[in-house]
């Protein structure tokens, strides 16, 4: 009997019609595009689900009758309840590393655009102003301090790129050996030190109970008035209202944001109407190479699970009879 596989993606993505990882398997592929389609019946009878930001909480997971794996086509997996899946004998996987270089490059692009005041310069030129004075002072990036909160794959890649440009790099990550940081020329630091000393604070942590809203009013109060916040990780790491209040109070100079707590934002979202905030539409991950890789990686994990194997990148442990 053929395996039913549901691929659920956001409405701006089109997963490939064929996936090499499924060659040799008898599969029926079903697609759920966007978040407005009622896919309850498809999910209920699915043997496997590949999902991109579609939420599977305990209630949703308990309705899955045959599912063996929920494969997140993303690095983050905060939208799937790992414990509930484990209780039902369902593997959960993610795709760590598929877009490491893309996110690191996007992060550096954000930092350099703020360092050189590129959004402001573009606006000046459009207004007919051919003068550098409105965006000065402009400091050389060499010797400026980049503070990383999170030093996993992406944090390490950002650090390497930033150091090549001459940045001093601080990093806070209680789960990484400080010796590894020092060996890479990165200075281990507490979160408070990163916030106090950095000219650019860049977030690279997963969204967990521990990190949820960790950038709040108290955190912003520690930052330098000339500093910038960069977030290419998860929107809910930041209390959005607190960031806006801090900018209005002059506690920091600006922010560059690729992720929001709720996406897409409403047209009246304050971030979209504040010139101090540079927003991109959750595209830090994006390249043609990464887009191809993420579906194949997720499909590979699904193929393994359907054949009774433990998938690589498994996030949970299950007890399931063969």
Q: Which residues are catalytic?
A: 234, 263, 282
Other beta carbons less than 10 A from residue 104's beta carbon? 24
Residue 213, Cβ density class (10 Å: 0-12 exposed, 13-18 middle, ≥19 buried): middle
């Amino acid at each position: 009997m053929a395996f039913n596989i549901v691929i659920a993606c956001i409405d701006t993505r089109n997963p490939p019609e064929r996936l090499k990882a499924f060659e040799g398997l008898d599969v029926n592929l079903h697609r759920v595009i966007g978040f407005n389609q009622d896919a309850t019946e498809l999910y209920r009878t699915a043997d496997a689900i590949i999902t991109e930001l579609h939420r599977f909480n305990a209630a949703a997971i308990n309705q899955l009758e045959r599912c063996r794996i929920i494969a997140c086509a993303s690095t983050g997996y905060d939208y799937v309840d790992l414990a509930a899946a484990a209780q039902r004998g369902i593997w959960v996987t993610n795709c760590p590393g598929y877009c490491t270089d893309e996110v690191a490059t996007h992060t550096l692009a954000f930092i350099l655009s703020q360092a050189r005041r590129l959004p402001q310069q573009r606006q000046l030129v459009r207004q007919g102003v051919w003068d550098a004075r409105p965006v000065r002072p402009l400091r050389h990036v060499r010797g400026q301090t980049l503070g990383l909160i999170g030093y996993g794959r992406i944090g390490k890649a950002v650090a390497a790129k930033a150091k090549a440009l001459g940045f001093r790099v601080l990093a806070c990550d209680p789960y990484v050996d400080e010796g590894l940081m020092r060996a890479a020329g990165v200075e281990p630091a507490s979160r408070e030190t990163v916030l106090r000393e950095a000219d650019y604070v860049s977030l690279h942590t997963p969204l967990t109970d521990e990190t949820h809203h960790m950038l709040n009013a108290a955190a912003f109060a520690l930052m330098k008035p000339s500093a910038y916040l960069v977030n290419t990780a998860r929107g809910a790491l930041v209390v959005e209202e607190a960031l806006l209040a801090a900018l209005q109070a002059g506690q920091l100079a600006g922010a560059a944001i690729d992720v929001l707590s709720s996406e897409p934002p409403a047209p009246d979202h304050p971030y979209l109407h504040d010139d101090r905030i540079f927003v991109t539409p959750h595209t830090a991950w994006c390249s043609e190479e990464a887009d191809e890789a993420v579906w194949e990686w997720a499909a590979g994990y699904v193929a393994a699970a359907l054949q009774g194997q433990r998938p690589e990148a498994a996030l949970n442990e299950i007890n399931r009879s063969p």
